[in-house]
Amino acid sequence: MLLNLHVKNLALIEEVDVDFEKGLIVLTGETGAGKSLILGSVNIALGNKASKDMIRKGTDYSLVELTFSVSENCAKQLKKYDIYMEEDNIITVTRKISEGRSISKINGETVNIKTLKNVMSLLIDIHGQHDHQSLLYTKNHLDILDKFAKDSILELKEKIKEEYSKYTKLIKKLEEFNIDEGQKAREIEFAEYEVNEIESANLKPEEDVQVEEEFKKLSNSKEIVSALSEIYNALSYETAGGLGDIINKAVMDINSIKGMDEKISQFQTELYDIDNLCRELTSQIYDYNSGMDFNPEYVREVEERLDVINHLKLKYGNSIEEILRYKEEKEEYLEKLNNMTDEMESVKNQISELEGTLNNLCTKLSEQRKKAAKELEVLVKQALVDLNFIAVEFEIQITRKESIGENGFDNVEFMISTNPGESVKPLVKVASGGELSRIMLAIKSILATEDDIDTLIFDEIDTGISGQTAMKVAEKMAKISRNHQVICISHLSQIAAMADSHYLIKKTADENSTTTSIKKLTRQQSIEELVRINGGSGITEAGLIHATEMKDMADRTKSNLF
């Protein structure tokens, strides 16, 4: 049950803080006073789209906070969203809107919009001004019937959804097989060509790197041999004036004076190291150059091998590993193509088996729906009679679709006759706006009995009705309010008179600002508001007498109802 509504800086609302009680709560006010703002603030807390344009001029943010008391059953359901109750089973939902973003919290913990919507769907149900228009779409009739059938079909619907998901995946897989034999042969031929081309190359891992290095060396072999020969001659011990020859003379010179000074021994050692290093280097250069036997045939072979590898890279991958992986994929594809006939038959058999399973499940679901439809027909007809449909017939027509879907194979359509002697016709074709509102109220009153939702909000459900019909609508809402908290935004005095709690929404303005406020009315204030709703130009004695009679009669009616 909604205990408190706190709104701050939302459009014309500067700040509103109002407590609610159980029973029938009616909100009234002049046209343009801001009744839609109150409902809009609740919708924001429900997770509906919030715009920065809703922030009151001159402020930085808007805030909506709802406080609920929840039943034990509801508290159990909230646990699946990690929402846990304190001992008093109170839950506070807050949504703050600021420039470019909004923050939602439940009991002080930040939640995302999806969680907010899921939680609020367990706490409150809103019927907006135009929600009755949903009855004009037959697809919604199925949803209403299923909501009424509820537990009796829940397991079946989940099973059908699960099996239908498998079915659609298999259908998609079968479509992938739908290529003609000519195309299949071409696919096989091309895949075999690609596999053979890669296989014939006999590639080895990392071979591309090795061949590229070898080709690079061979391509520059002449330059390498020439340069190293020059270096060898410069270092040679056999060439007069070469570095080796000079070092050799230096060694002989130092050997001749080594005993003359201890320091010379150190020089001798270091000179020997230089001599050894030079001899080793010249030997390595000689060996390398001797191995550089320039063979044009070998160079051509390496070049051709590199061309093969680069050609395959252009077609199948940037490395040997990628090319070999591509080959494996093509081999798997070839196997799939060659086994396609057998696999296709297997898929067809699975589809046929699933069609049988789905047909059986959908038949059971349809039977349960027809059973629920009979019960709902009786309840809706009685509810419509209560709402001043004098001679009404209501039927739920269930026909079979040509195909199965995740909701079964049923088409559901509400049929109605509001005139004696006339056969039932599709509701979408014959019901007026005022009739649609009452039909939706009848359905809501029935579903409310099935629901665990404590709070129901109706926004001008009384559109298009008056007189005795309005009185009947008021009585129906009073009945619903015995088991649910009902909050109704209304412009009819018959409904306002029936209120257990009556609130006035008022707009005031001065030179600088306009503000919407809400306050709970005393009995006398409620009677005066009834005078205004009835169209009185002012508070007259006659108007007060009539409004008092309306209030007294509503009290007697409620006493008789319960």
CATH classification at residue 90? 3.40.50.300
Using the 3D structure, point to which of 288, 320, 338 is the last residue of a domain. Answer: 338
Mean pLDDT value across residues 302-308: 88
Residue-wise pLDDT tens digits, 325-335: 999 999 998 88
Work out the average pLDDT over 474-493.
91
Distances (CA, A) of 206 to 201, 218, 302, 409, 428: 14, 19, 15, 60, 73
Answer yes or no: do 227 and 109 share one domain: no
Residues 105-126: tens digit of each pLDDT: 999 999 999 999 999 988 998 8
Of 1-5, 42-46, 52-56, 129-133, the range with the highest mean pLDDT is 1-5
333 and 192 in one domain? yes
Q: Phi/psi of residue 26, each to 5°?
A: -120, 135
Looking at the domain assignment, is residue 399 inside a domain?
A: no
190 falls in which pLDDT band (50, 70, 90)? very high
Q: Domain for residue 347, yes or no?
A: no
> Residue 292's pLDDT is what?
67
Give the confidence band of 416 by pLDDT, cuts at 50, 70, 90.
Answer: very high
Q: Which of 143-157, 178-192, 339-353 has the lowest mean pLDDT?
A: 178-192
Q: Is 247 within the bounds of a domain?
A: yes
438 domain residue, yes or no: no
- At position 274, the amino acid (one-letter code) is I
Q: Which residue, 289, 317, 338, sits at the end of a domain?
A: 338
Average pLDDT, the chain: 87
- β-sheet bridge partners, residue 509: 514
Helix (H, G, I), strand (E, B) or coil at 96: strand
Residue 545 has a pLDDT of: 92
Q: How far is CA 369 from CA 100, 156, 329, 361, in A?
A: 46, 11, 50, 12
- At which of 289, 320, 338 does a domain end? 338
Mean pLDDT across 147-158 = 91
Q: Is residue 113 part of a domain?
A: yes
pLDDT score at 24: 96
Could you tell me if 323 and 197 lie in one domain? yes
Are 197 and 305 members of one domain? yes
Q: Mean per-residue pLDDT for 529-554?
A: 88
The CA distance from 335 to 180, in Å, is 17
The 10 Å Cβ neighbour count of residue 96 is: 18
Q: How confident is the model at residue 243 (pLDDT cuts 50, 70, 90)?
A: confident
* Secondary-structure breakdown of the chain: helix, strand, coil percentages, each rounded to the nearest 5: 60, 20, 20
- 528 pLDDT band, cuts 50/70/90, is very high
Domain that holds residue 188: 182-338
Is residue 285 included in any domain, yes or no? Answer: yes
- Tell me what pLDDT residue 30 has: 87
Confidence of residue 142 (pLDDT cuts 50, 70, 90): very high
Query: How large is the average pLDDT for residues 140-145?
Result: 93
Which CA distances in Å does 420 have to 383, 385, 392? 17, 13, 7
Structure tokens of 352?
Answer: 């046929």
Instruction: Answer yes or no: do 193 and 320 share one domain.
Output: yes
Report which of 175, 161, 294, 277 is spatially closest to residue 225, judged by C-alpha positions: 294
pLDDT at 363: 96
Of 238-242, 244-248, 281-285, 341-345, minimum mean pLDDT range: 238-242
| pLDDT recorded at residue 237 | 77
Q: Are 16 and 67 in contact (CB under 8 A)?
A: no
Are both 203 and 91 inside the same structural domain?
no
Reduced to 3 states (helix: H, G, I; strand: E, B; else coil), residue 221 is: helix
Number of domains in the chain: 2
Name the least confident of 19-23, 121-125, 533-537. 533-537
pLDDT at residue 289 greater than cutoff 80: no
pLDDT given for residue 251 in this prediction: 81
pLDDT value at position 293? 61
Give the pLDDT score at 452. Answer: 74
More confident residue, 111 or 32: 111
Q: Which of 293-297, 435-439, 527-531 holds the top average pLDDT?
A: 527-531
Do 198 and 302 sit in the same domain of this protein?
A: yes
pLDDT band at 357 (very low <50, low <70, confident <90, very high): very high
d(CA 429, CA 137): 11
In terms of pLDDT, which residue wins out, 154 or 51? 154
Q: Are 266 and 193 in the same domain?
A: yes
Residue 395 lies in a domain: no
Looking at the fold, whether 91 and 207 belong to one and the same domain comes out as: no
pLDDT at 159 over 70: yes
Is the confidence at residue 76, as pLDDT, over 80? Answer: yes
Most confident range (mean pLDDT) of 20-34, 355-369, 424-438 is 355-369
Q: What percent of the chain has pLDDT over 90?
A: 43
One domain, residues 58 and 187:
no
Nearest to 390 by CA among 418, 430, 425: 418
Residue 200 has pLDDT above 90, yes or no: yes
Pair (334, 191) in one structural domain? yes
* pTM assigned to the model: 0.66
Position 446 in a domain:
no
Q: Are residues 189 and 122 in the same domain?
A: no
Interval 491-512 mean pLDDT:
91
